[in-house]
Every structure is written in C-alpha cells, then in structure tokens.
Structure 1
Amino acid sequence: MSDGATQRPNRVLAGVGRIPATLTMIGLVLAAGVIWQGLWRPFEDSDLFDVVAYGLPALEAGRWWTPVTGTFFVNQPWVYVFTITGFVGMAYLEWRRGWRAALGYLWVGQLFAVFAAALLLWVLSLLPWVWAQAEAAALDVGPSGGTMACIAAAVGLLRPPWRVRGWLVLLGFVFIAMLFWGALADLEHLLAVLLVLFVDRSLRVQRTTVREQRLIAFIAVLVLGAVEIITILVPTDGPFGPTEPASGGFVDLAIDVVVILVVANGLRRGRRWTWVVAIILAVLNILFAMLIVAAFIIASQAQVEATIDGETELALAGGVMWLLMLVYLIWVRRAFRARRKSRIGHQPAPVVDDVKRMLHTHGGGTLSWMTTWEGNSYARTTDSIVAYQRRNGVALALADPIGPAASRTAAVEEFIHDAERAGLIPCFFSADEATRAAVPATWRSLVVADDTIVDLPGLEFTGKRWNSVRSSLNRAGREEMTFRMTHLKDESWGVQQQLRAISEMWVGEKGLPEMGFTLGTLVEAEDPEVRLALALAPNGDVDGFLSWLPVYGPGEDGAQKVARGWTLDLMRRRDGGFGPVMEYLIGSSARLFSDEGAEIMSLSGAPLAHDYPSDAGMIAALSDKLADALEPVYGFQSLHRFKEKFHPRYETMYLLFRDESDLTRIGGALTRAFLPDATLRQFAGAGLELVRGDRD
C-alpha cells in the first residue's frame, strides 16, 4: 500500500478520535431506536412514548425525567435522517473546542429549549389562542433542541464573513419553520438558537461591510418571497392560523418568483433601482396591513373574528416584517448606490500615458508594464493608479497598484471600496506580497504563479549547472547564429512578416487564440519601450524571437527612464530552425542586460507550477490536477522546467479575493480576460485536446 493510501485512513481515524462525545450521542440515539424499534416503527404510537416524552403535560404530571429520557428517542423512522444529520454542528464544535464544550452546548441547549418552551406555552395557553393551547398539550422527543444549539454555536465559530451569513441562514430557517409549521419542536429550535445568539453575541450586524449589508437585504427579500410562495403552494398551520393553498394559477406564482429573484439579485449587487423597487414593495405591504388594522377598528370584535382567517393573520405578520425591512433599507441606504455604468476611482479616469508617467516616476513590479496594454481600465486613487478589467461583474485588478510604495495600502483600500460601491466583486490577480499584506485581514489568497527572477549583477555562465546554457551559446557560435536586440518598429517589413508568420503558426497549433491579460502579442511588442531579441540564421531567417517588457525603478526627482530590469513576454520559434534557440536568446539577452547595468531579468510567472508545502492540502491538489489537464494545450509545467535552466529565484504571485463565494465569478472573469475573443467552437476544440492529452 502506498504512503498516501495509508495516510488517508490514519487521518480518518484521527478525525474520528477527536469527536468521541458526538459519536457517543449518535450511538445512544441509534441504540434506543434498535432496542425500542423506533428505527422501523413510529415510536410515538408506542406505550413508552408518554412515559419518556417531554413537554408541558409531562412536567405538569410530575414526570421530571422526561427532558433527559426524551432526548434519546425519535418519533418517526424517517426523522432519524435529520436527527443524525443534525449532530454535524456538535461534531464541528467538538472538533474546534473539545468534548466538554460540545456536551455543554448540547445539554444546556436541550434542557433550556424544553423548559423554556413549556413555560412560554403555559403562559400563552392562558390566552384564547388556539395554536398555543394545542401545542401546550403536545409531547415531543428527540435531541433537536440541543443539536440546534450546537449548530448555532458552530456558526459563531466561523470566520468572517461566513459567520454573519451562517447566522442569517440559520435564523431565517428557524423563524420560517416557526411561522408556518409552529410545532413544539419548531418552538424549541427557535428558543435554542436565540439562547446561543444571546450568550455568544457572535452576530454583530453593525460591524458589517457594504457587501454584507447588501447580502442581508438579499437574504431578507428571499425569506419574504419564501413566505409568499409557501402560502401559495402548501397549507400551513402555524401560530397565525391555518391557511389553504391559493386558488390562482402558476403563472402568477412564476411572475412573483421572477420579480423576487430580480429584486433580490439587484440588492445583492447594490443596484439603486432595485432598492427603490424594494422600498415601494415594503410600503405597499405595510399599507395593506394598516388597512386590515383599520378594518379591525371600524368593525366590531365579533365581525372581525368572523372574517379573520390564516391569510389575514399572515398579512399582518408580513406587514410587520416588511416594516422591519423598510427600516433596514433606509438605515443602510448608502450601500445601494451602484449603477450599471458606475465608475471606479477619482475622475477624470487616468489614461495610458498617465500610467506610463507613474511607472517612470515611481517604478513598478515585473508585470506592471502589462497594465499599459489595451483592454485595461484605470482607477485613480489618492496617490496611485490601479489597472483593472471589468468582466463578469468582477473588477479584476492586474498586478499591484502603481504609485508610491507608501500609498500601497491606501490604494488597495480605495479600489476595494469603489469597486464594491459600484456593485462589482474586487480582486487582485498576480499580486505580490506587499499587496497581499495590504488587503483586509479577512481576505483569502491563492497562489497563481511563481515569478522567476534572474539576478543579473555578476552573472557568469560558468560551472557545471550552466552547462546547457553555455553549450547553447557555443553551438550558436559554431552555426554562425546572430543575436540582435532591437525594437519591432525598427525592423524591416520582411523581418516583421517573418515574426507574424512564426506567431500565427504557433497560435494555429493551439486551437485557441493567443491569450491576453498577462500574455502579450506582437501588438503589445510594437510599443517603442518594449525590446525585441532576435535569433538570425546565417541566411537571414528569423529562427526565434523574444519580447522584453521594461521594469522601472523609482525615478530620481521624478525623472528616470532607465529600466532596472526586463520581463520576458513573447517566446516564439520557427519550426525546423536552430534547436536551442530559446536558451540562446535568453542567455544572450541576460549578458546584454547585465552589461547595461540592469539588476534583474524576469522570465515571467510560471502558472500552475508552484511548489506547495506538504500540508497545502486541497489547493495543491487542485492546482496539480489543473496543471496536468492544461499541459497538452499550453505546456505550463514544461515551460517551468525550461526556466529552471537559468536558476532563478522565485517570488510568489497571488490571486487575492474576499472569500470563496466569489471564486465562481472570478473564474469566469479570468477566462474572458485571458481569452476575450475565443469562441465556443475553439473552447470545444481545446477540450478535445485536453482529452487526448489525458489519454496519452
């Protein structure tokens, strides 16, 4: 058996060993189900049910043991699925905080839910409230009060922003269940969750970001929509009385669903017009509830009681919920200012010339010159410029902010703030460690590449490790190859046509168009500040070429245009030409740059070829699988191995994003940024190439 196979069982056993209390409780519940046959027969029909079940009647009859004994039984066989699943919160709590905390939350939550529900129903049953009187006479079994308390405590342990989202989902679930079904168990669930919410105080809505304020509105509208849809589709019998399904057709329901989804999605994205629509909906529902109240006042009590049904009660409850929604929307109104064409940054927006001036003055990283390429937009912050592309609802920032190093944090914060205000998802692609340190502490990061940097001062191709590069240079001398560093526009028409032919042949073999965003083409190589390295055969043919992007350092007195380094962009070779042409071109370029006094030479990032530590887990596995899949098409790993011949040092490049829920949208944005002109047919062809590569 392999080491990986033996490690997986060991991890499973280690994980099981960390949740003994949870497994013990599950075992006791299942054992009770086997011994008293509750796993295959309705336990609530057995004679033992009244003896062990808890509730107000049991306590009034002096059966004080029932809050404990009833915990280990389940009323129906199908309920075991939900009962056992409910222990997931206890398992996570025990994993994080130990068995004492897990058992404490389970039993305190269970006992509080049972006794508090009994006390509340005893008080409410004194009123002429049919629901309260019915539930006061009900009995229940099961550990769901305690497991719901554990789930609530586990939600409180989640890291932001998932903690707020978890609380919203959990509270929405228990309130809806209470509103529409209102059984004794639903009341116990609600009380257990509210107890943990009060004790833990882990839900702090007032500290949420603009994004979370929008998300709260989004979930609230979905909950209100669910209220309407449930009452239309199914009968309910909750605290507000029974309702029957509406007699209307499904066309009206479909229209309501579409309106709800459109408004909810607009609120999630911070659209101003959907905020206005939500305000109008809230006002209309509140006015409708007020009309019902007015009818109560005008008519006699007997007449009102004769006309009230479940739908009227729910309309009043809906009016109260919409009133809360209205207050919330007005309170956080500044979060809903995004328009479809909202601009990011201070106006007027910078242009390419502004970006180049900023690079000449303050310098940049090895990818900074790529921000001057066509397709990028620019956001002006107080002291810097952020280049980004707006795709798929994402503000996809390229590399790092351009400007003074001291303003990095401020520039990042301003860009994030403006992007979120515009209803966009902010993220940074191929950012360095400084930018990673500048984003909020709650942000996530993924390694997307390793920048391969060769330090040029004192560079000599001597020693055994440089054999391959040195032999390529020597062979080029023997075969009378010529190296020339030039600019594309300075070359003759004939040379330019050769370069285009070589490039078009390379693209044709891939089945996809040339990638953009961080991968240039001959169009970007036409910039007069970009240099071109040519390998010329004795007959004048171009056997290969490279393009080099300038890397500027901070200028002196705002004026220094001497590049401190160069970044490799294009790498193209002619079929049938000089074999080690790439080693020859890179080695010759390195010598020239070193003689000119340059500090670094970047061979650019090596995507999907990062050497992860042994404990990297899922991220490393996903990256390795993706790299293997893309290798037949783009050869990222082969390119990485080639660059290792020049013994570079590595600087990690990151994708920086708010949290995992953004990754789907970011993935779509990156796809379109890299392949803006690719067609479905080309994607399908690339997919076939991946399949062939996998078979090989």
Structure 2
Amino acid sequence: MAVVAVALVVTARMAHSEPDFPHHPPVACLALVAVVLTTVLAERSLGSIRTLVIGVGAPLLGVLATLLTVTIGSALGEAHAEFAVGQPLFAPSVVAAALLGAASAAVPAQRRWRTRAALWTVVLTLVLFAGHGSDLARALATLLGTAAGAWMVRRASRPQSRTTRVPARTVVVSALIALGAGTLVTPIVPDPDGVLSPFADAMPDRSVVVVGVLLLLAAWLVHRGRRTGIALAIGVLLTLTVVLADVFLIEPVKDDAVQWQGLGLDAIEWQVTLLGAWIVPAAVLLAVLLLRPRLVRARFRAAGARRDDLVEMLRDGDAGTLGHMGTWRGNATWTHPDGSGAVAYRVRGEVALAVSDPACATADRADVLAGFTAFCERNGWVPAFTSVHEPVRAILGAEGWTALPVGVECVLDVTTFDLRGKKRQDLRTASNRADREGVRDEWTTLDALDAGRRAEVEAICTRWAADRRLPEMGFTLGGFRELDDPDVRLMLAVDADGHVTAVTSWLPVHERGALTGYTLDVMRRGDDGMPGVMEFLIARTALRAREAGLTTISLSGTPLAAHAGARSLVVRGSVLLARVLEPVYGFRSLQRFKEKFGARHEPLWLVVPTPLHVPRVARALASAYVPGLRPKHLWALRQAHRAAADARAVAEARAAGAARS
C-alpha cells in the first residue's frame, strides 16, 4: 500500500487534470482512482519494487520519448509536432495505463488478451482522434509497461499459460468501438489534432453523435453475433466512407482545391491526411464484409450422427461419472480435429453448454478444452462447462476462467461397501422388509422387458413427472426417454405378484476401455412401492457392482448442494435457491437421502469465461433444464410453498396433541 500512496501523491501533484478533458474534473478524479486500482493490481501481481519501477520508469520514458519526438518533429516542420509544442505531456492516466499493461502479463491468457484489447482500444482511440502530446506519451508508456511486465514475468520463471489467439470478432468489435467512441470524443476534446479528428468536421454535431452511437450499438450487436449488428455496421461505415470521401476527396478535386506546389511540409501532410480520411472507415467496412461468416453466430442443430463416435471415446477415455449424459437426445458432439477427444454440448441462446467433462484421455484434456473453446468462439457462442469435476476446473481456472459451485456428487466405493454398522441401519431395514414382503430386485435393460413390464416402467416414470407442479427437469437429469439405451441398466423392484413398484436406471462409467462402475440417473417409486424401496435398490446395485469387480457407483449430483471451496456468498445463494425449489424438486431432501450410503462428496462446478458471462449462462441453464417453464409456474411454485407450510402446521399440531395426551 506504500506504493499506492506514493503513486497517488506524485500523480496528484504533477497533474491536476487530464489534458484531453481539462474542463471535466470528474475525469481527473476517475484517472486518480484508476491509478490506485492499477497500482494495487500490479503490486499483487508483480510485487512492490517492480510496480514502483514500472509506475515511475514507464511514464517517465514515455514522456521523454514524446518530448524528443515533438522537438525533432517541430524542427522539421511536422504539423502535429508543431501543434503539440507546449502541451502538457503527463497525466495520471499515463501511470494507470502503464501499470495495467504491466499487470496484464501476470494474469491468465483469457484475462490477458481481453485486458489488453480493451486497454489498447482506449489508448489508440485517444491517439488517433484527440492527438495530443499526452496521448502519445500514454501510448508509449503503455507499450513500455506491457513489455516490462512480460519480461519480468518470464524472468521470474512463472508458468506461462496457453497462447490464446485473438478472435476476429474481437478485432472487429474493437475497431467499431474505437471509431464510435472517437467520433463522440472529438467534439468534447479541446483542439483535437489526431489523424482521424477530421471525422467530426465533415458532419453536423447531431450527425456526429448519431454516427458514434450507432457504431457503438453495432459493436455491441456484433459482439453478440447478431446479423442486425453486421447490417448496421455495414450501413453506418458505408455512409461514413461516402460522406468523408465526398467532403475531403471528391469536392476538393472537383474544385481544383488540391495544390501541391508552394506548400510547406505541414500543409502537405494535412492535405494528405484529409484526402485519405475515408480510408479508415473503408478498411473497417472491408474487414466486416470479409469476416462476415466468422462474425455471425452459428445456428445450433442437435445431431445424433456422431453419437457412436462419442460412445467409443467415452469407453476409451476418461470422461468421469457423468459422461454418458452427453449421448442423450438434444445434444450435439464436437470432435477434436486429431480425434483425441470430444465434447457433448447443446446451445441455448448464445451459450454452448458442455455436458460435464470432455471424453478424452487425461493427458489430452487441456487440448480438447482449448479446441472446444476455439470452436465456440468461431461460432459466436459463449462456452460454459457444466457439472465438471475438479480436474477440469483446475485446468480452466489456470487460464483465468470463473468457476461457480453447482452441486455435489456422491460417489460410493463399492469395494468396501456393506450393510453392517449403525450408519447402515436404514439400508438393512429396507433390505429385510423387502425379503419379508417378497420384493426382489431385477437387473435388466429396457429392451429386455416384455410389453407389460415396459408399460409398468413407463407408467411409474410418467406418473411421477405428471404429479410435479413444475415441468420435469432435463439436460443432465434423465427421464423415461433416456432409459431406451442398450448401455443403460435398470434395477427394478418387483413385488410378490410380479409387478414393478420402483425403477432406477444406471449409466455406464468407463475408464481407459474398462467398465469401472455405474451412475444413478432415474429414481422413481410407484404408488404401491414399499417404504425404503429406493434404499433397497441402491444397496442391491452396490452389492452387485462389487460382485462384478467394479470399483464405484455414483449416486449422481445433487443440484445446488453447497460444498467446500465455494465462496460464502455463492453458498448462501445456492442454499436460498434450493430452499425456494424444495417443495417442487426436493433437492435438499435428495441430499439427505444420499447421506445414508456414506458416499464421499465430489464438488461439481460451472465454469464460464468471465463473471460477466454468468447472467447469460444462468438464463441458458434455466432454458436447458426446464425448457417448458412459463410464468404460470411461478404461481404453482407459490402454491407448493403454501401446501408445504400447511402440511408442516398439521404435523406440528398432531405432535403437540400427542405430547399433551
């Protein structure tokens, strides 16, 4: 914090305002705040000594280099240099830009290129449109700070993250923002002298504002992959190019106003600048037209053509316990170009929701994740990895991604599982009751059932869903449709009369070509099912798995269950949401049920590129899990809460009456 204090005092004493905005004191205040924030960021990333060296050295060298350039240029008669003579060259934002450029070298690749893209968009916009001496000093200080930070990080032998290519969309969006923001800034900056400052002279003030706003709107729409944004950008850039060409090229040529003889260097330079003013928007327009296929968000089509390839990779690789969910209908499969792995996903809105861990070998996991991310960026989608385990979170976290807890998976080690001990009392009770009532377990598949037995299974599954006040959840939560798979096993409870009274389904888990266990998916109990029938079926499945030489069974994930490693605020949010949905989906009750089996907890994560993407990803997840959700269901949720409250009141009244009697 000592470095912060020194930087703040020095910058405050050396400059009371930003030269680009001398009549706007709040801008100077924001610049000082930026100095403090970037100093803190750089100090945490690079250390106090390095921060002090860069915070003083880079701005000082930038100012000296600018002063030297202005002196030499003015002596040679260069117009911009002559105009910059006597202008203040230092501003607090020079320090902030240098420190931010330096600190960007120490952050993961995802954050690094985003930070630098935003930083250089601002810096170059001010250089090209405002064109003051302080703008050139800021650009040089930013360049020096970025280079110094990169050198210091390499010198410290810190692990370098994967190189990230800047997508074409980012380049186009940055160019549109620069043109739009620069057009809006030019009328505000006193005596603009940038090479693009003539833009504002070619149009009335109102037109300048309209053009700037439309370019910024087009940038936002292009960033979202919208066709309307591309059409708007093309229209505005084409109009701007025509207007500038007419004002600064066609009319001067027609009026014989272009003269080359008898002019000094500065006059010739300005004439060339004006004659070529239309080239910049024309170049951006050409880039938009050429890159148009890569700017439009691709349409998603769920396809099962590659399902067999995915199943093969699931068997040969290590996709974790939830990998088989990627084979369900509604998902598509992306395969790595070299065939080293695959990712199952579905798109909602503009978000590509990957289904748990990628199907690949452990050694190829980082490459497959990077390949899928690049694939999403080319198609204009935001990649989001849902319900992934800790190894995937660690890889993406090292690249600067944001991880949010979404649940807990309960994994049971069947090699040590048995029904002995006080903690297994409920399981023994259920098993003994099943033996007394003649209920038996049946390990089978849906295809192996006769028509009557299949109808009973379907009736139990569909009746359970019909009794819910809200639509049945999907995406990574299966239903009857997902049972129709030869690789999915069923564990049925069959009573003494031969009728099915409960259904569980189990997804296969493979690791390096061998079947290692199963994952619980569907869990449905019929109206005539005995109490404890689910405990009975799961315990019998664990014992069968042990006899078959398998190692684990997963009781699947419990949505919104808090786990270690999550931030307290996120935990409170998950607990609150789970409490709201409890009367309908029973997530908290489900977690308490799973505790009976003594399984270990493994955290499940949602990993997104940045915190800014969380709202969009949340909407996409809601659409994927509950696609039929409507406003009317909010009223149904309210009614469910009332019914639950009434039931608790009745139970408490009965308990009180029993206590009095």
Matches within 5 A, 1:27-42: none
1:639 aligned to 2:590? yes
2:258 matched residue in structure 1 = 299
2:350 matched residue in structure 1 = 393
Distance in 2 (CA, whole Å) between partners of 1:342 and 1:323 is 33
* Residue type at the aligned position of 2:591: H
2:630 to 679, 683, 690: 679
Matches within 5 A, 1:531-546: 531-536=489-494, 543-546=501-504
1:23 aligned to 2:2? no
2:331 to 346, 358, 376: 376
Moved more, 581-590 or 19-28: 19-28
Distance in 1 (CA, whole Å) between partners of 2:631 and 2:304 is 34
2:561 matched residue in structure 1 = 609
Alpha-carbon distance change, 25 to 266 in structure 1, aligned in 2, over 3 angstroms: closer
| CA-CA distance at 1:417 after TM superposition | 4.2
Deviations 1:588-647 (A, max 9, x none): 33234434444432211233335314x866665665555555545433343223212112
1:167 to 104, 116, 119: 116
1:470 matched residue in structure 2 = 428
Contact 1:603 1:643 (C-alpha < 8 Å) held by counterparts: yes
Distance in 2 (CA, whole Å) between partners of 1:691 and 1:93 is 53
SS at structure 2 position matched to 1:679:
coil
Alpha-carbon distance change, 687 to 274 in structure 1, aligned in 2, over 3 angstroms: farther
2:172 matched residue in structure 1 = 217
Moved more, 651-660 or 128-137: 128-137
Matches within 5 A, 1:547-626: 547-552=505-510, 564-574=516-526, 578-613=530-565, 623=574, 626=577
1:226 matched residue in structure 2 = 181
Normalising to structure 1: TM-score of the pair? 0.71
Distance in 1 (CA, whole Å) between partners of 2:360 and 2:318 is 7
Distance in 2 (CA, whole Å) between partners of 1:79 and 1:406 is 50
Alpha-carbon distance change, 641 to 316 in structure 1, aligned in 2, over 3 angstroms: farther
Distance in 1 (CA, whole Å) between partners of 2:591 and 2:310 is 30
| CA-CA distance at 1:155 after TM superposition | 3.6
1:82 to 27, 30, 38: 30
Moved more, 417-426 or 236-245: 236-245
Alpha-carbon distance change, 493 to 612 in structure 1, aligned in 2, over 3 angstroms: same
Distance in 2 (CA, whole Å) between partners of 1:373 and 1:506 is 21
Matches within 5 A, 1:296-695: 299-300=258-259, 318-319=277-278, 321-322=280-281, 336=294, 340-341=298-299, 350-356=305-311, 365-381=320-336, 382-383=338-339, 384-402=341-359, 411-412=368-369, 414-432=371-389, 442=399, 444=401, 445-457=403-415, 459-488=417-446, 499=457, 502-504=460-462, 506-507=464-465, 510-536=468-494, 543-552=501-510, 564-574=516-526, 578-613=530-565, 623=574, 626-627=577-578, 630-682=581-633, 685-686=636-637
Alpha-carbon distance change, 118 to 92 in structure 1, aligned in 2, over 3 angstroms: same
RMSD of aligned residue pairs (Cα, Å) = 5.3
| CA-CA distance at 1:662 after TM superposition | 4.4
Percent of residue pairs bearing the same amino acid type: 29
| CA-CA distance at 1:568 after TM superposition | 1.0
* Residue type at the aligned position of 1:474: N
Alpha-carbon distance change, 100 to 463 in structure 1, aligned in 2, over 3 angstroms: same
2:654 matched residue in structure 1 = none
* Residue type at the aligned position of 2:409: D
1:106 to 43, 52, 55: 55
Contact 1:271 1:336 (C-alpha < 8 Å) held by counterparts: no
Alpha-carbon distance change, 265 to 487 in structure 1, aligned in 2, over 3 angstroms: same
Contact 2:507 2:521 (C-alpha < 8 Å) held by counterparts: yes
Alpha-carbon distance change, 501 to 235 in structure 1, aligned in 2, over 3 angstroms: same
Moved more, 463-472 or 290-299: 290-299
Contact 2:470 2:633 (C-alpha < 8 Å) held by counterparts: yes
1:12 matched residue in structure 2 = none
Matches within 5 A, 1:44-63: none
* Residue type at the aligned position of 2:334: A
Distance in 2 (CA, whole Å) between partners of 1:161 and 1:645 is 42
SS at structure 2 position matched to 1:520:
coil
| CA-CA distance at 1:29 after TM superposition | 7.8
Deviations 1:123-150 (A, max 9, x none): 5555778876665345688644434433
SS at structure 1 position matched to 2:191:
strand
Gaps of 5+ in 1: 1-18, 33-51, 56-69, 557-562
Matches within 5 A, 1:188-227: 188-197=137-146, 199-200=148-149, 209-227=164-182
Distance in 2 (CA, whole Å) between partners of 1:379 and 1:213 is 21
| CA-CA distance at 1:172 after TM superposition | 2.5
* Residue type at the aligned position of 2:322: L
Distance in 2 (CA, whole Å) between partners of 1:684 and 1:280 is 46
1:36 matched residue in structure 2 = none
* Residue type at the aligned position of 1:20: A
Alpha-carbon distance change, 509 to 624 in structure 1, aligned in 2, over 3 angstroms: same
Moved more, 500-509 or 641-650: 500-509
Distance in 2 (CA, whole Å) between partners of 1:157 and 1:593 is 48
2:158 matched residue in structure 1 = none
| CA-CA distance at 1:219 after TM superposition | 0.9
| CA-CA distance at 1:406 after TM superposition | 7.0
Distance in 2 (CA, whole Å) between partners of 1:419 and 1:676 is 22
| CA-CA distance at 1:461 after TM superposition | 0.8
Deviations 1:492-519 (A, max 9, x none): 7776666555545544564321111211
SS at structure 2 position matched to 1:638:
helix
Distance in 2 (CA, whole Å) between partners of 1:22 and 1:564 is 56
SS at structure 2 position matched to 1:216:
helix
2:159 matched residue in structure 1 = none
Contact 1:213 1:335 (C-alpha < 8 Å) held by counterparts: no
| CA-CA distance at 1:386 after TM superposition | 3.5
SS at structure 2 position matched to 1:237:
coil
Distance in 1 (CA, whole Å) between partners of 2:181 and 2:192 is 15
* Residue type at the aligned position of 1:521: G
Moved more, 119-128 or 166-175: 119-128
Distance in 1 (CA, whole Å) between partners of 2:102 and 2:484 is 60
SS at structure 1 position matched to 2:109:
coil
| CA-CA distance at 1:322 after TM superposition | 4.5
Moved more, 510-519 or 185-194: 185-194
Alpha-carbon distance change, 689 to 110 in structure 1, aligned in 2, over 3 angstroms: farther
Gaps of 5+ in 2: 155-161, 649-661
* Residue type at the aligned position of 2:599: P
Contact 1:335 1:421 (C-alpha < 8 Å) held by counterparts: no
| CA-CA distance at 1:409 after TM superposition | 5.8
SS at structure 2 position matched to 1:571:
strand
Moved more, 126-135 or 215-224: 126-135
Contact 2:318 2:362 (C-alpha < 8 Å) held by counterparts: no
Contact 2:173 2:220 (C-alpha < 8 Å) held by counterparts: yes
* Residue type at the aligned position of 1:587: A
Moved more, 511-520 or 578-587: 578-587
* Residue type at the aligned position of 2:539: G
SS at structure 2 position matched to 1:366:
coil
| CA-CA distance at 1:375 after TM superposition | 0.9
Normalising to structure 2: TM-score of the pair? 0.74
SS at structure 2 position matched to 1:670:
helix
Distance in 1 (CA, whole Å) between partners of 2:88 and 2:174 is 33
Contact 2:353 2:383 (C-alpha < 8 Å) held by counterparts: yes
Alpha-carbon distance change, 115 to 158 in structure 1, aligned in 2, over 3 angstroms: same
| CA-CA distance at 1:648 after TM superposition | 1.8
